[in-house]
Every structure is written in C-alpha cells, then in structure tokens.
Amino acid sequence: MSVSKTNIEFKVGLTVIVGLLILLFGILWGKNYRLVASQSRVSFLFQNSGGLRVNDPVTVNGVKKGQVAAIELQNGLVRVDLMLDRDVQLFSGVRAYITVVEMMGGKKVEIIPGTPGETLDLATLHEPLPGAQTAGFSEMLLEMSKVAARSNQLMQRLDSTITLAAAFLDEATFRRPLITVLQDLQTSTASMRQFVQDNQRDMEQTVANIEATSTQLRDVVERRAPQVDSALVTFSRTVRKLDAFATTLDEISLRLQQRQGNLGKLIYDDETYTRLNAAIAKVDSAAIELRAHLGKFLHGSNFNLINLLSF
C-alpha cells in the first residue's frame, strides 16, 4: 500500500513538474525570451510609443526577428530598445515604424532595413536611430475626431455664407434690379436690331462707297507711284544735303571756337581787335587831315573836281 501510494505521489509530482516546465516554456516562448545571447541591441527614437509594450514583436520586412527590450523617455521623445537576431543586417537607409499587429490587436515594430549598401555595425552604434510612426486605430480615431471638428466649423461657416448670400440676393436688392437690367438689355438689343434692319441699305451703300474710294485711292497710288518714288528720292537727297550743311556749320563753329582762321582771330583775338581799332583811328585821322588840307593840295585844280572830292 505504501509503495503504491508513493508511486502515485511520485507520478503526480512529476506530472506537476512537467506541466510547470511546459507552462514556463510556453510563457517564455510567448514573451520571446531567448536562452542564448544570439541577439544584437539597437535603439530607435519615436515621437510616441503608441501603446507599444516590452516584449512586443519586432519584424523585419514582415518576418519576426526580435522583440522590444525596453521603452523609456529621452529628451521629450520615446526611446525604444530592440533585440534583433544577429543575422539581421541594417543599412544606412534603415526605417522603423510602430504599427499594429491586427486591427484590434497589439503593437509591433516594423523595420525596413533599407537599400543594400553601407551596412550599419550595430555593436558600435552609440546613438539611437530616428524612427517613424504609422497611424494606429486610436490615432486614426483621434485624427477622425479632429477632421469632424474641422468639418463642423466648415459647415458652420458655409451656413453663415449661405445666409449672407440669401440676404444679399433677396427680391428687393438683387432680383428686381437684375430683372430690370435684363429687360433693358433686351429692349436695347431689339432696338439695335430694328435700327440695323431699317438702315441696312444705307449701311450697305456706305460700305460700297468706302470700298470704291479705297479702290480709287489704290489706283491713284499705283499710277503715281513713279512720281511718289521720285519725290521720295528728292526728299532723301535734300535730307542728305541738309545733313552735310549741318556738318559744315558744326565744323565752322568748331573752328571759330578753336580761334582758327581770320574770322576766329577777329572774334576772339584781343590784339587783332586792338590793331583793327588803331587802323580805323588812323584812317579817320587821315580822312580828317585830307579834308582839312585838300584845297591847299589841289590849289589851281578844277573847281568841280574839288567840290566832288569835298566831304
């Protein structure tokens, strides 16, 4: 009896121990615990954790390759430390997102390793990498509530605008004046149409006269074309002569300003002016002397000649 009871107790205890081990293994497997240190640690900075928790899965291009190790605040941002399998390679263009596992499920970190090129050495990374964040269900609800609030404000403004437009477009201030203007425009159009119909023959005759006058003027121009060309040639020659004359006047003016030639010296040279005055004075003196003594010089000459030569 005692041996059988001991065996039963042993089996029960062994069963309990095995069950506990299975339960513990299941918990560790569910929490993504690893018994061997075959993972690398990498950190990302996010604006918001979005409900992310420690031990949430980390996927690389959709493949599960690690779990969240720690979450903490750092300079107003959220630092998330990840444990990644060592076979994961990240490149310089790596991107990380916090997204949902399912529509109503938990969160995960999705990593896009980037274009193969410069490989990041995760062991030497001392600063967290920048991370992005996709909108989860709660974030979408929040944004939808913001959109709804803005839509409500827009509808209120639209309602106010419609009210103001209705007040502006009432019967007295807009509709009646508009109808009156349209009626006046219709009356004016009818009057203009009637005027055109009544004076159609006169207008046609006027157009015909203008056409005939234009034809005659064209014929006159064609007949007188040689004379017109000759007049234009003569006018062109006259213009060229005037230009040459103006050039000559400019040269004369320049020579006068530069005191060249007798006229320039006479105008600008003080010595020439003084000599000219002295010569004129001598001529006046000689004339006076000649007038005073002419009778003495011509004594006995013909009287008429003396009278003719007297001043």
Q: How does DSSP assign 5-20, residue by residue?
A: HHHHHHHHHHHHHHHH
pLDDT of residue 15 exceeding 60, the answer is: yes
Q: Which residue has the higher pLDDT, 165 or 138?
A: 165
Q: Which of 101-105, 141-145, 195-199 has the lowest mean pLDDT?
A: 101-105
β-pair partners for 59:
64, 110
Please report how the helices 270-297 and 261-268 are oriented relative to each other, as an axis angle in degrees rounded to 10: 90
- Residue 70: CB partners within 8 Å, gap ≥ 6? 54, 79, 80, 81
pLDDT in tens, 70-129: 999 988 888 999 988 888 888 888 888 888 776 556 788 888 888 887 888 777 777 888
- The domains of the chain are located at 1-30, 36-134
Beta-carbon-side half-sphere exposure of residue 74 (alpha carbons within 13 Å): 16
Collapsing DSSP to helix, strand or coil, 204 comes out as helix
Highest mean pLDDT among 35-39, 256-260, 275-279: 275-279
pLDDT of residue 295 exceeding 70, the answer is: no
Question: Topology of domain 36-134, per CATH?
Answer: Elongation Factor Tu (Ef-tu); domain 3 (2.40.30)
β-pair partners for 73:
78
Under a CB-based contact definition with an 8 Å cutoff, are residues 109 and 136 in contact? Answer: no
* CA pair distance 45, 97, nearest whole angstrom: 10
* pTM of the predicted structure, to 2 decimals: 0.37
pLDDT of residue 58 exceeding 70, the answer is: yes
Under a CB-based contact definition with an 8 Å cutoff, are residues 88 and 66 in contact? Answer: yes
Q: Which of 24-38, 49-63, 216-230, 278-292 has the lowest mean pLDDT?
A: 24-38
* CA pair distance 63, 66, nearest whole angstrom: 9
Which two structure tokens, joined as six digits, stand for 84? 């990644």
User: Which pLDDT score, from 0 to 100, does residue 139 have?
Assistant: 61
pLDDT of residue 306 exceeding 50, the answer is: no
> Residue 143's CB: how many other CB atoms inside 10 A?
11
